[in-house]
A and B are shown apart, each in its own frame.
Chain A
Amino acid sequence: AQSVTQLDSHVSVSEGTPVLLRCNYSSSYSPSLFWYVQHPNKGLQLLLKYTSAATLVKGINGFEAEFKKSETSFHLTKPSAHMSDAAEYFCVVRANTGTASKLTFGTGTRLQVTL
């Protein structure tokens, strides 16, 4: 079984300040982990993915995440928030078993960016 827990349902930051969105995972197998972003009335866009290579993963738009096996965490960070970062962010896990591609989503974190 696999699951993800996003520790904050809502995060508010000022423009130009750092962003931290927290995610803990649980997986019986070696997982692949992803962060997706969803802007209002839009589909999901992949920000970054961890697939058992480097533990520090860099994504698009200045986002990065660090895989910490000892803490079962995969937190998303960005040094400086921009107004356009306001959206819903989903932490996602996929067990690498066979060829199945089922994704398990966290409940999402809504990021608000203020002036």
Chain B
Amino acid sequence: KAGVTQTPRYLIKTRGQQVTLSCSPISGHRSVSWYQQTPGQGLQFLFEYFSETQRNKGNFPGRFSGRQFSNSRSEMNVSTLELGDSALYLCASSTPGGPSEQFFGPGTRLTVL
């Protein structure tokens, strides 16, 4: 069974631009979560989607948004990029509900210049 895939793996943008990251969950998984990893703040939860609906959100500004499609694939968008948005963005998928584990993708490394 294929794992979680994220595209692109690396991205370089400049301040003020916007960016869209993509995540394809494991087949059959309907829940997708996004996390930001930085050296200073560690791993922080961004949001979670299930059945095309956001059902949990972390403490990030409105510049960070996401969506999920009917095939469970998810996208994350960051508008008006700032230098501090440089990070590894990780996507995780899981079966919904219960104490199920989350399976992580390799991440997208975003660098904002």
Contact = CB atoms under 8 A, between A and B. Distances in A.
Interface of A: 32, 34, 36, 42-46, 49, 51-52, 90, 94, 96, 99-108
A49 B101 contact: yes
A100 B107 CA distance: 22
Contacts of A100: 48, 55-56
B8 interface: no
Interface SS of chain B: strand
B90 A43 contact: yes
Interface in B6-61: 31, 33, 35, 42-45, 48, 50, 55-56, 58
B106 A42 contact: yes
Contact of B55 (A36, A51, A99): A99
* Most chain B CB within a 10 A radius of its CB, from A52, A90, A103: A103
Q: Nearest 5 A-B pairs (CB), nearest first? A: A51-B99, A105-B43, A44-B104, A32-B99, A43-B104
Interface SS of chain A: loop
Contacts of B92: 44, 103
Interface of B: 4, 31, 33, 35, 42-45, 48, 50, 55-56, 58, 90, 92, 94, 96-107
Nearest to B101: A46
Contacts of B102: 46, 101, 103
